[in-house]
Structure 1
């Protein structure tokens, strides 16, 4: 037709990814352009690979809609979806490569939704929990083994029944099993708690339906969450896993890394228990954290 120009190839099954990717050619932000262009190619290749039906696509849209509708102030269903698909762990791992010289990272998880209260060294974070008592010790160092004084060690965990405080308002005290500790001049920290229990991620929503439909369980092995930060160093978000915990080899969110598993041996020592302020016998665990230095900005 006279006066009509064509900027590029028209949409077709063969060219679909190419045509949609080309529509992002004038995106001002180069990173956004890169991400959307790659997404278009991969997404269209996936649809072609499985030959997605209209009914399947409608089901997928409805699933994502319900996933959004499940989100509220204390629950993030989209994070759960990212977790069970392994995307959270992959993004975390790509962005925190350690080179084998610092503590490995793992997923934040959906329950770090309140600020942990500052607590004195050695404080008991188990405000109303009846699990096996545990003494947790550790040291924060830099990549050359230097101590990191005043590092902030943020910890949180589930109780002996596998629930976080935010899941049981009115049952658990607020900020139960949470604490923000400051490392001493030698980078050391310690606190009292209980041995955590394995637990299921929330599975009463769309993500739970996905797990059930694929024959997967919703459980995570027992662990304590850590976020460690210090001036001049890159922060690390990680877990301390209990060796021998159920599901240690089949974490629903793929968060387990071998370097983060520790024994929690039982200690029968009344004098040491008295010094630590714990009932005897009690469990112990030591977890050292090595931070990477923040890269310096170019002058």
Structure 2
């Protein structure tokens, strides 16, 4: 029998895990205790700092509601969400890279005709988005669903402004044909800040970090027999590309939005999505 001391804390706590705990839970919790106790020893955490941490986590939970998940925001801004995404979506060279899902996807967006305009309020600079959905051999994928969503010209999603934006504004789903082509009209997205009026915002300010995300269009691409792809395409030249508050930018996802001479399509963004086969 060993009692709790500064030197034996890790072994004593992990030694209390029961024999009936699942192997996976045992592995996760043992590692968590190891790292957590090592962190506390490393920084020699004071009681005042520990109380501040407890207060921070309490306030983070208290601000969570149906339309806001502050713990996900905390995970995002600490790079945890992107690291979990990277570990769980390793893919062969040539496959489109993933990035964070984000909190603003809405199930049940309408399936629209190819080429339709998803901007229902008519605001913002019109952009034509087009490309193909391909497999790793470069063959087009038929019946892929390209689910898209973005902010409006003021940097807000429709669910953030239900009283002023039409439902499903800047959202839609498009089904590819035999050629794998998708095309729709939306707006050129703008940069926007993540919610920074809560504990996470105060943390960012204390760290000298800003809350801004670079302009992007969200994509979720699904197809029979293929792994689901969740990603963004980012506007090249955006000032926040190298300092995205949630670390979501990958170089392969930065796209040159090209100015056109067509008044009905001020911008154009072309991007092909390459999906991996679904594995058992």
Instruction: State the TM bucket, normalised to the shorter chain.
Output: over 0.9
Q: Does 1:101 align with 2:85?
A: no
Residue in 1 that maps onto 2:257: 264
2:189 is equivalent to residue 205 of structure 1: no
State the 1:280 CA deviation: 4.0
| Corresponding residue pairs, total | 280
Question: Deviations for 1:262-295, whole angstroms, at most 9, x for unmatched residues?
Answer: 00111114xxxxxxxxx34510011111111111
What residue number does 1:20 align with?
13
Alignment TM-score, normalising by the size of structure 2 = 0.97
- In structure 2, how many angstroms separate the alpha carbons of the residues matched to 1:27 and 1:129? 59
How far did residue 25 of structure 1 move? 5.1
Per-residue deviation at 1:22?
2.0
In structure 2, the residue matched to 1:274 is: none
1:130 aligned residue (108, 123, 131): 123
Distance 1:22 1:154 in 2: 48
**1:236 pairs with 215, 229, 236, which one?**
229
Aligned to 1:75: 68
Structure 1, unmatched stretches of 5+, are 1-5, 270-278
SS in 1 for 2:242: coil
SS at match of 1:207: helix
Matched ranges for 1:151-190 at <5 A: 151-190=144-183
Distance (whole Å) between structure 2 residues aligned to residue 167 and residue 247 of structure 1: 22
Task: Give the Cα–Cα distance (whole angstroms) in 1 for the partners of residues 93 and 75 of structure 2.
Answer: 26
1:294 aligns to 2:265 (yes or no): no
Q: Indicate if the aligned counterparts of 1:22 and 1:37 stay in contact, CA closer than 8 A.
A: no
**Alignment partners' CA distance in 1, 2:182 and 2:13:** 53
> How does the TM-score come out when normalised to structure 1?
0.91
Distance 1:283 1:181 in 2: 20
What is the CA–CA distance in structure 1 between the aligned matches of 2:265 and 2:107, rounded to whole Å?
32
Specify the SS of the correspondent of 1:41: helix
Q: Deviations over 1:60-111 (max 9, x none)?
A: 1111111111111211111110000000000001111123220000001111
Q: SS at the partner of 1:184?
A: coil
Matches of 2:168 and 2:153 in 1, distance apart?
A: 15
The separation in 2 between residues aligned to 1:203 and 1:129, in whole angstroms, is 28
Q: State the 1:181 CA deviation.
A: 1.2
In structure 1, distance between residues paired with 2:264 and 2:171: 23
| Runs (4+) off by over 4 Å | none
What RMSD, in angstroms, separates the aligned Cα atoms of the two structures? Answer: 1.2
Q: Which residue of 1 aligns with 2:105?
A: 112
Aligned to 2:220: 227
Equivalences for residues 4-15 of structure 1 within 5 A: 6=1, 9-15=2-8
